[in-house]
Structure 1
Amino acid sequence: MFFDSWDGLLRVVVVGVCAYAALVALVRLSGKRTLAKMNAFDMVVTVALGSTLATVLLTSDVALAEGVLALALLICAQFAVAWTSVRLGLVRRAVKSTPTLLVWQGRLRDRALRDQRVSRAEVLQAVRAQGQGALDQVAAVVLETDGTFSVIPLNSAGDLDALDNVPDVPRD
């Protein structure tokens, strides 16, 4: 239960070092976007990479070469989807969400909060975290595609062109 053999431990060390080195090399080759905190698809790939690495390390039925191939396949699939989504709107809409406007000109947008399952308290926390003391000091709060909140204070809103890709922004 606590110890099977020295061979098992040695296998974990050798395969672990090799698999880790292969994963780092593959991630570096594929670019920064591979582990980006961008959307649900990126998170799924990150979790799958971790699960695959754990399987390679702890399951003696999986050879190192098979594990490295599985890691490479996941990274190549993520690269292909990211590359295609930049070029084709249909793919982009299928794998990426859109940002959601939660506050506009100091007013909460109740329907958007309900649709995104975000509470008023969460929005107020995001506003406070940006050093704002009241909603009327906020031009907009956006729930980004990665689940983070962006708070745009009125005093630095400018022409709000940063909201060009956010649906439902009132255009005057």
Structure 2
Amino acid sequence: MLLVAVRALILYTLLVVVMRLMGKRQIGQLQPFELVITIVIAELAVIPMSNTGIPLINGIVGILVLMAVQIVLSLIILYSEKARKIICGNPIILINNGKPVREMMRLVRINISDLLEQLRNKEYPNISDIAYAVLETNGSISVIPKADVKPPTARDLGTPVEDPHFPISVIMDGNVMLENLKLAGITIDVLQQQARTQQITDLREVFFAQYTTEGKIDFFLKGRDDYL
């Protein structure tokens, strides 16, 4: 049992490192070749993990080889448009100016019910409201609504707005994150001053504080669900 536990720990650590090196993408965002490699890597890890009769090195070598293949393919499609089309394919238009493109739907074997379900998930129940619906190379469907049904933006309304700031955590569980304060361009004095304006005298009472996209600081106190 101890041997199995040690082998499992080694393979788990290796898989975490390999997945980090392969990139940060969710399963639904993977290209087909990336999904295949991920599944095979998982299988290669399970076999030597459960069967102590198989040398551990067999699984490790297989995992490392597939990781190298994935990285090489990713670099190829990054720099070669032709290779990208061959390996990943091309986006396909399923709806054009409010009308389903039946030929393309047949080509990718998507029926109208599946398409409608995807559109409803994106809060577009009417096909006629859609300018384009595109099946992306990773299998997701992107929707571009017609101009008259798209919510108006500040630019459309002629309203001047400021670009958002990057949200940054500045306090976590009562601990001030000094490096993050520097990133936000805030001094500890400014942080304390903002806290005092919201009746907070001790920063250790703050469960979480965030420098928001609007350039202000939200404080969440320990033991309270609301924020000041």
TM-score, normalised via structure 2 length: 0.60
C-alpha distance in 2 between matches for 1:74 and 1:34: 18
The equivalent residue for 1:10 is 2
C-alpha distance in 2 between matches for 1:79 and 1:35: 17
**Number of equivalenced pairs:** 150
Q: Confirm whether residue 22 of structure 1 aligns to residue 11 of structure 2.
A: no
Moved over 4 A (4+): 33-36
Contact 2:22 2:70 in 1 (8 A): no
More helix by share: 1
Could you tell me which amino acid in structure 2 is paired with residue 28 of structure 1?
A: R
Larger displacement relative to structure 2 (34-43 or 68-77)? 34-43
| Residue 71 of structure 1, CA deviation | 1.0
Q: Confirm whether residue 118 of structure 1 aligns to residue 110 of structure 2.
A: yes
Could you tell me which amino acid in structure 2 is paired with residue 15 of structure 1?
A: R
C-alpha distance in 2 between matches for 1:124 and 1:90: 32
Alpha-carbon RMSD across the aligned residues, in angstroms, is 2.3
Cα 1:86–1:130 change in 2 (3 A) is: same
The equivalent residue for 1:65 is 57
C-alpha distance in 1 between matches for 2:117 and 2:28: 25
Cα 1:148–1:35 change in 2 (3 A) is: closer
Identity %: 24
| Residue 10 of structure 1, CA deviation | 2.6
**Higher RCO (C-alpha 8 Å, min separation 6):** 1
More strand by share: 2
Contact 1:35 1:46 in 2 (8 A): no
| Residue 108 of structure 1, CA deviation | 0.5
C-alpha distance in 1 between matches for 2:64 and 2:28: 17
| Mapping for residues 1-172 of structure 1, pairs under 5 Å | 9-32=1-24, 37-154=29-146, 155-156=149-150
C-alpha distance in 2 between matches for 1:125 and 1:36: 17
Q: Which has the larger radius of gyration?
A: 2
| Residue 17 of structure 1, CA deviation | 0.9
Q: Secondary structure at the match of 2:107?
A: helix
TM-score, normalised via structure 1 length: 0.77
Larger displacement relative to structure 2 (110-119 or 79-88)? 79-88
Q: Secondary structure at the match of 1:140?
A: strand
| Residue 62 of structure 1, CA deviation | 2.5
> Where does the alignment leave 5 or more consecutive residues of structure 1 unmatched?
1-8, 158-172
1:95-147, CA deviations, whole angstroms, 9 ceiling, x for partnerless residues? Answer: 11211100011100010111110001111111211212311111111111121
